[in-house]
A and B are shown apart, each in its own frame.
Chain A
Amino acid sequence: MARRVGIIGAAQTKYGRKPEMHLQDVAFEAVQKVLQKTGLKFTEDGSGIDATISCSQDHWDGWTISSKNVVNGGGGHLRPEEKVAEDGAYALYYAALCILGGHYDCILVVAHTKESQVDGRLIENSGLEPLYTRMLGLDFTSCAALQAKQYMHTYGISHEQCARVVIKNRGNAMHNPCAQAPEILTVDNVLGSPVLSEPIRLLDAKPTSDGACALIIGTEEKAKKWTDKPVWIEGLGCSYDRHYPGYRDLTDPLSLKEAARQAYGMAGISNPRGEIDLVELSEYYSFQELLWSEGLGLCEPGQGGRLIESGATQIGGEIPINPSGGLLSGIPVNVAGLNRAAEAAIQLKGEAGGRQVDGARTAVIHGAGGVCGQMHCVISVRREP
């Protein structure tokens, strides 16, 4: 990269249902926290934060141009504010490009969503093409169930292996003060939870969640000025596949492989499993952590089940995945990818407390969106030795 982009600081709300808060309150809380943490302010003279890039979605907020919810509290009043409406990882991707392009030196990235204010299944149903698939009564969960079944059938992945993802992630969340649903679970708890869309059960899916996450990134100069522990963005990749899941081999996440190829290529990573210290990925459903591990090149296709069984992906293992607790511990859509970035930054700064991966220097951030993971964004980060 011609310029270096550093993550200066990150902050989040506690995640969970927030009936007492307006959408603006939720976003404002995360912004206030990151400003306090970093000491940065919104300025017009180049001495502080130059611009705001947000992530939220009109349909979830029930209000078109949903970034209206961050104008006042997010530094958007009479200042540049732009919204990316896919996932928070894309907002970070875009913000990093704005700094690489030289237009801004310091950007606040903020994502918010209150899933609890609307029937999320109808939002997801309306995320499907209207004339062809929507009227079949599909939503993201039932489509993910088709993906899960095909993946499990093709590679002999067991439901117990998927349940181990839930157990690991909800257990990791015990050490995350922002997590919504920390819990010690057993395979029987997961396999005995109510079926949503076979083989996906209640505990295989991420819970309904509200919250916000905010990050401040800057040029090398800004990052070094405002933090002792900058986390450098070294690789960026994003890729979209066809929308209609019938067009895709759902067991082969091509757009994830492409996003990873771009990010690893830029960062000079040739052996991801050996060179990455931890991964924060977007598992909306338990089986997706296994499938996305394969797409990220952490194991061979079909080996995701063995990877979780080996213990390699636990905190203290060879390649910890979602030490934060992941999406299964309750992170809202849109916020999901930015939360992955925040958690990776917290890890590399050595501020992760009981969920800290010892000596972590490199991390991979993964955001996903769309039905059955249509699009993926991969960002690799590193701290100074």
Chain B
Amino acid sequence: MNEELLEIIIPLDLKYKWSAGPHLGAFLRGLKEEKIIANRCPVCARLQLPPTPACGRCHIGMGEDWVELSHQGSVISYSSVVDPMFDAGIGGMRPVPYTIAAIVLDGGPDVAFFHKLEENNPEKVKVGMRVEAVFRPPEERKALMEDIIHFRTIG
């Protein structure tokens, strides 16, 4: 056979309406009020960030013991993303480079908060670097993770 390849493009464009629920909802509503909120397990007392309905270790409902965390913390890992990726939110390729980081917030749980850094020069980012969350102005916040623009370098 010497036929042309037959490849047919069929888009699958689905819009989901995700319910945040009481736990992730408390976290997202907290962002709108410039707060980073975790919840505490009634048994092992570990903090969960983001807040979850159940503690994986204790197999118990987490309840509503909300704890507000510091906006400052330390970078434990980071990456400068160079390869662009499609972003449904803007309907095009995400501008690069952007720097993502795993940040442990002061006095918070022993888990990392993933977000972007303001600093886009990988030479200027270090493990252990101190950073602080920069929130959007109140009128621009939508109870989304993007209510935090990025983390900026401090100290």
Judge if A242 is at the interface, Cβ distance under 8 Å: yes
User: Of residues 74 to 104 in A, which have CB atoms within 8 Å of B's CB atoms?
Assistant: none
Chain A interface category by residue count: 35 or more
The smallest beta-carbon distance between B89 and chain A, in angstroms, is 7
Task: Report Cα–Cα, A148/B80, bound state, in Å.
Answer: 12
CB distance from A230 to the nearest CB of B (A): 39
A132 to B52, CA, bound (A): 12
Say whether, besides A137-B81, A246-B49, A131 and B18 are in contact (CB < 8 Å): yes
Tell me the minimal C-beta distance from A20 to chain B in angstroms: 6
Q: A135-B89, A142-B81, A198-B80 are in contact. Are A20 and B112 (CB under 8 A)?
A: no
> Is A130 in the interface zone, CB < 8 Å from B?
yes
Residues of B90-116 whose CB lies within 8 A of A: 94, 98, 100-102, 111-116
Residues of A within 8 A of B102 (CB): 146, 150, 245-246, 250
User: Is there a chain B Cβ closer than 8 Å to A54's Cβ?
Assistant: no
The verdict on B30 contacting chain A, using a C-beta distance below 8 Å, is no
Residues on A with C-beta less than 8 A from B127 are: 149-150, 153
Q: Give the number of A-B contacts (CB < 8 Å).
A: 106
Query: B79 to A199, Cβ gap below 8 A?
Result: yes
A197–B114 CB distance below 8 A? no
Question: A246 is contacted by which of B82, B94, B112, B116 (Cβ under 8 Å)?
Answer: B112
Q: A149–B125 Cα gap in the complex (Å)?
A: 12
Q: What residues make up the interface of A, taking CB atoms closer than 8 Å to B? A: 19-20, 62, 119, 121-122, 125, 130-133, 135-139, 141-142, 145-150, 153, 194-200, 242, 244-247, 250
A-B contact pairs, 14 of them (CB 8 A): A138-B100, A141-B83, A145-B79, A146-B102, A148-B79, A150-B76, A150-B127, A195-B80, A197-B83, A199-B79, A245-B114, A246-B49, A246-B111, A246-B114
Spell out B's residues near A (CB within 8 Å).
5, 7, 10, 12, 16, 18, 20, 24, 27-28, 49-50, 56, 76-83, 85-87, 89, 94, 98, 100-102, 111-116, 122, 127, 144-146
